[in-house]
Structure 1
C-alpha cells in the first residue's frame, strides 16, 4: 500500500488556478485571421455548427454547443466515435464542422476528418498542436496550445480543456456582437427559471393578479380601512375624480395616525395619504420594480399605465416568482 503524502490543499488549489489562468491568458496571441474568418464563416452560414470531439474534448464540445444555441447560433453535437457509425448523416451541406482535440492525432479523429472533408463541409480545428494531423487537414485552425496541464503529472486534461472552453466562449460572444444579439433575444431562448423571468417578466404580469385597491380623496377612514383590508395588499392608492393618482395610504400610515390620538371621526383619505408615491409603469420589467423597492426600502409600488393608476406590485410577488 502506497504511503500517503502530505499535501498543502490550499496551495495545490491556488497553483491549479494560476496554471489555468496562464493558459487562458496565452490564448490572446492565437486570435488571428483564422479566428476572425471562422466567426465570419459561422455568422453567414446557412446551416448549423456541428461540434465534434472525443473524450474530454467531446464534453467541452457539448458545452460550446449549449452556449451557441442559447446565444442565437444553431449548433449540435456529434460524437467523433459515433460519427463513423451513422451519425455523419446529421451533417448537411450547409453546416460548418468544428472538431476539438488537444493532440489532433486521436485515432477516431484521423478516421473522421477525411470523411468530413469528403462531404465538402468547411472544417475548423480547435486544437492544441498546430502541426497535428487535424490542424493540417482543417480549413481554419484555432490554436489552444497550453504549456502545462494543471494536473501534477501533466497528463489529465485540465488547462487544455479550460482553453478549449474559453476559445468556444470567444466564438460565441463574437457571434453575439456581430449579430446584435440583445437581452430580449436571450430571453426568448431562456424562458424558464429565474434568469428567464428577469429578462421577460413584466410588472403587469404580476400586478394583474391582484385587485386594484383604490379610494377617493374624500373617502372616510372606515372606507380606507375596508379597502386596504379587503384587497389584502396592505396599501391603497388615492385618486381624484378624474382617476388621476394623488397619493398612497399604507397600513403603516393608519397605525401612525392612531398613535397621534387624532379624532378619527372626520378624517378623510387626503388627510393621511402620502403624496408623490413611488410608481412604476406597467410595461417595465419586474426586476426593475425590485431595484426600486431596494433603492427606497419599500415593499410595494403603485403601477401606472401612462398617467393612470393601474394597480400594485408587491415584494411578495417578486419572491413568489423567484426574482429575488
Structure 2
C-alpha cells in the first residue's frame, strides 16, 4: 500500500495504522518502524495522526462468536413470532451524497478537535548521542538539531498567543520562516540562561551545562537574559556571538565567523587554534563519552584545520595523529596520553 501520499486524516482512518497505535504488536511495530526509516520526512504527519487516533480512541465492538449465534437466533425467533412483514423504503438516490457529507463532517470535526489538542500540548523532539535530526515546524521554520539535544514546541503554537515559542536544551540551528498567519508573531527560543526573540532570521543556539551562547548568521535577534539584576535586552547584529559561561559574571560579546559555530551542521568541526580540551568537551556532549588526560598539558594542545565528525573512531584517530597521542578506550571512557618513544 502506498502510504507516502497519505494525509493526517488518511492515516487516522486507516485500520492498520489504528491497530498499531491502539494495540501495537510486533508485526505492526516492525512495519511502521521500517516505513518511517524509509520516509523520515513523514514523521511529523505520523505523529499528528497518532494524536488524532488516540483522541478518538477508535473501537470496534464485535461480539464473540457464541454471542453472534445467540443474536441471530433471537432475530429468527422474533420474525417467526410476529408473522408480519415490513415494507422496505426505496434507497434514496441522494444517499451516497449523505455518506460523503457525513465523512466530510467527521474530518472537519476531527481537524478542529486535533487543532485544539495540539494547541494545548507540548510536542517534544529529541536526538540521541551521535545523532542529528532535521525537522520542519508548522510555520515552515527549519530546525537542525545537534546530538544529545531536546526541542519542545510549547502550547499555543497553533494560532493563539503572541509568540511562537520553543524550548531548547542542547544545540540547534534555526532558519525562522516568515509565513502568513505566523510571520507576524515573534519566534522565541527559551533556554536555561537566555531567551532568544527573533523574526525571520538564521542563528545557532547552544545551551548545555558549560554555558549558553547564541551566534547570529543573518537578521536581528533580541536576547533576554534569565538572571536577576540583569539590565535590558541585548540586540544582536549578524556576525556576533553572545555567550554566558559558567564562572563568568557578565555576558561575553564579540564578532565571529558564524560558519565556525555552525560547523556541526556540515558534520565537521573547524579548528582555529582550538585546544584539545575544547574539542573533547564537544566529544563528551555529542557522543556521550567521558574523556580524561594522562597529563594536564595534553589538554592545552592547539589545533588548526577541519576534522570530520561523521564517525567517532575516525575522529579519534585524526586527533591522535595530529597531536602525536595515543587514545585508550575502555567502555565509555577515553584516555589521551603521550605516545611512548622507542
TM over 0.5: no
Higher helix share: 1
Higher strand share: 2
When normalised by structure 2's length, the TM-score is: 0.23
When normalised by structure 1's length, the TM-score is: 0.24
Larger of the two Rg values belongs to structure: 1
